[in-house]
Amino acid sequence: MDRIKAAVCHEFGKPLVIEEISIRPPEGSEVEVTLDAVAVCHSDISYADGAWGGSLPAVYGHEAAGRITNVGDHVKGLSVGDPVVVTLIRACQTCPSCASGVPTACATPYDGDHGPITDVDGGKMHQAMATGAFAERVVVEQSQVVKLPEDMAMDVASLLACGVITGVGAAVNAGNVRAGDVVVVIGAGGVGLNAIQGARIAGASRIIAVDMSEDKLAVAMEFGATDGVLGTSGSPWKAAIKAAGRGADAVLVTVGAIPAYDTAPRYLAPGGKVVMVGMPHSGDMSSYEPVVLAALGQGMVGSKMGDVVIQRDIPWLIDLYQQGRLKLDELISGRWSFDQINEAIADTKTGAARRNVILFDKV
């Protein structure tokens, strides 16, 4: 067992503690990745605040990039030195979901209490979301990583692990947005901006961003929104329908706010659907009038991690980025050193940040 530094959550709602933990070498089809960058996602914050429960002590973090520094005996196609993006999508490859091409819904359970990390005395340390990337190194399944181009910056690459694929995938995969569609994106934060990009790439004719902040709406226009609607207005769905000339074919809810979910169906055209991306706290309830959805042939569908297949979709997104058709650099609002992780989390909580990235070599 080696020792590494990690930011550990010992108590929900309290600051993370940077301390030494132990990590074992990779086994079987696992790889060890020494991280260069990890982004701060709202899901990490929700977990650390206790919104969804879970086991403690824990190491969160799941949007990361680095280089492979060790491999298990059964790893194929990857070698020590390869630059990779590290995701939380751990796919067994054999369950019905994986075999059907939906690895984000892998049915094989993972027990993070018995993963590759422990405390320095060998006691339990939970590897959250099968990743635990608020640490200098991770050991994950080969299925969780995708090789990167040698010249791709690691801070930018880390965003591909969650925020980008979740937003773009919500539009392209779950929302099945097509050329000429009208799309409403509720929430213009990190995931929302990528949902806007996904709708733009898919050829939507009108992309209407809805947010509580004028500043965020202005940024949404830079990422491809054609119109912006303030959510603080009395009936934002009326303004959105007026802007587009009709209801939306897809409404992508990228925030975990119950009022956003309550009003989302109001934006829809007949036959349209709400794509549920943002994750409210456990126990939060939303309400809607099902007879309207039934009468108008509308629907609601969940989207986990953009329904992506990372070995297919991440190379595609990298190609779009290299062509200048996908904005990534512009998503980074702050770069922080590892010992500033609690400050980066606090800044993310303000809602102003697009994505804050921790750089392990930054001092």
CATH number at residue 7: 3.90.180.10
Q: For residue 344, is it within any domain?
A: yes
pLDDT at 163 > cutoff 80: yes
The two three-digit tokens of residue 55, written as one number: 């086991």
3-state helix, strand, coil in the chain (%, to 5): 35, 30, 40
Q: For residue 310, is it within any domain?
A: no
Alpha-carbon gap, residue 139 to 24, rounded angstroms: 8
Write down the pLDDT at residue 234: 83
- Is residue 232 domain-shared with residue 255, that is, in the same domain? yes
Write down the pLDDT at residue 352: 81
Sheet holding 227-230, edge to edge: 227-230, 206-211, 182-186, 248-253, 268-276, 299-302
- Is residue 265 domain-shared with residue 335, that is, in the same domain? no
Amino acid at 17: V
Q: For residue 315, is it within any domain?
A: no
pLDDT at 222 > cutoff 90: yes
Per-residue pLDDT band for 363 (boundaries 50, 70, 90) equals low
Closest CA to 66 of 138, 142, 143: 138
Alpha-carbon gap, residue 274 to 253, rounded angstroms: 7
Mean pLDDT of 212-240: 94
Mean pLDDT of 150-160: 97
Average pLDDT of the chain is 96
Q: For residue 255, is it within any domain?
A: yes
Q: What is the DSSP string of 70-105?
A: EE-TT--S--TT-EEEE-S----SSSHHHHTT-GGG
Write down the pLDDT at residue 83: 98
- Is residue 176 domain-shared with residue 145, that is, in the same domain? no
Q: For residue 314, is it within any domain?
A: no
pLDDT at 45 > cutoff 70: yes
Q: For residue 111, is it within any domain?
A: yes
Q: Among positive and negative, which fits the CA dihedral 337, 342, 344, 345?
A: positive
CATH number at residue 287: 3.40.50.720
- Is residue 152 domain-shared with residue 100, that is, in the same domain? yes
Q: For residue 133, is it within any domain?
A: yes
Mean pLDDT of 133-162: 98
The number of domains in the chain is 2
In DSSP terms, 302 is beta-bridged to: 276
Write down the pLDDT at residue 362: 76
Q: What is the dihedral of CA 151, 66, 68, 110, to 10 degrees?
A: -140
Rounded percentage of the chain residues whose pLDDT exceeds 70? 100
pLDDT at 303 > cutoff 70: yes
Domain hosting 109: range is: 2-161+327-359
- Is residue 186 domain-shared with residue 297, that is, in the same domain? yes
The two three-digit tokens of residue 136, written as one number: 């200098």
